[in-house]
Amino acid sequence: MSGAEAARKLFSQSCTFVRAVAAPDQMPPPGMPEVAFAGRSNAGKSSLINALTGRKGLARASGTPGRTQQIVFFNLADRLTIADLPGYGFAKAPKAEAAAWNALMRDYLQNRASLRCVVLAIDSRHGILANDRDMMNRLDRAGVSYQAVLTKADRLRPAERDARRDQVAAALARHPAARTDAIVTSAEEGLGLEELRAFLAEFAAP
């Protein structure tokens, strides 16, 4: 079986809700290898998780930055844990909510023993914004490997996609924890999903 076919088979299996946590002491025990999805609010992170797993309502988006202050854990076929991190971007969020988000992220990224990689969703229409750079710096400091994924690429022309990918790749080269290239995706059209599934399947337990 090819790597792409094995990845497709993995992501076609059961993916179930495990727990939503708002504080470090609520985390499920580390066990299976874990990948986390991070991104600015409205960057398309939840839609990407749903498209990868073929389940429209698995991950739910919040349109208000700072509104959802929980990490949501899913079990993929008893081989991989998927963690959906709360979106960042605090322009309209009360200071207390921003502080809670920061505390939760700091503990998760520094102490989660089963975490193997973070998928960083970046809206391809805008590229890397200031709060994306803040997250990249946070991941660098924590020493957590991350893979940039450009979302909503169906909104751009092919030449624009290529230019954005090159722009993001140049920025990633300056970050020690980043993988060197970005995966271009569209949850609507399925673009890049096979490549991203194959990448994530490398972390799954046998």
Is residue 24 in some structural domain?
yes
- Tell me whether residue 35 is in a domain: yes
Domain ranges, residue 152: 3-201
- The pLDDT of 51-67, averaged and rounded, is 70
The full length of the chain comes to 206
The answer as to whether 186 is a domain residue is yes
189, 9, 103: which is closest to 86 by C-alpha?
103
Residue 39, classed as helix, strand or coil, is strand
Indicate whether 48 belongs to any domain.
yes
CA distance 135 to 10: 29
Instruction: Give yes or no for residue 61 having a pLDDT over 80.
Output: no
204: Cβ contacts below 8 Å, ≥ 6 apart: 10, 33, 76, 77, 79, 80
Q: Kindly report the average pLDDT of the chain as a whole number.
A: 91
Give the helix ranges, DSSP H, for 57-192.
95-111, 130-142, 158-172
At residue 136, φ and ψ (nearest 5 deg) are: -60, -45
pLDDT in tens, 85-111: 999 876 666 788 778 888 999 999 999
62: confidence class by pLDDT, cuts 50, 70, 90: low
CB 108 within 8 A of CB 24: yes
CATH at residue 40: 3.40.50.300
pTM: 0.93
The string of pLDDT tens digits covering residues 111-154 is 999 999 999 999 999 999 999 999 999 999 999 999 999 999 99
CA 98, 102, 144, 171 torsion: positive or negative?
positive
Number of domains in the chain: 1
Model confidence band, residue 60 (pLDDT cutoffs 50, 70, 90): confident
Does any domain span residue 206?
no
11-35 residue pLDDT tens: 999 999 999 999 999 999 988 999 9
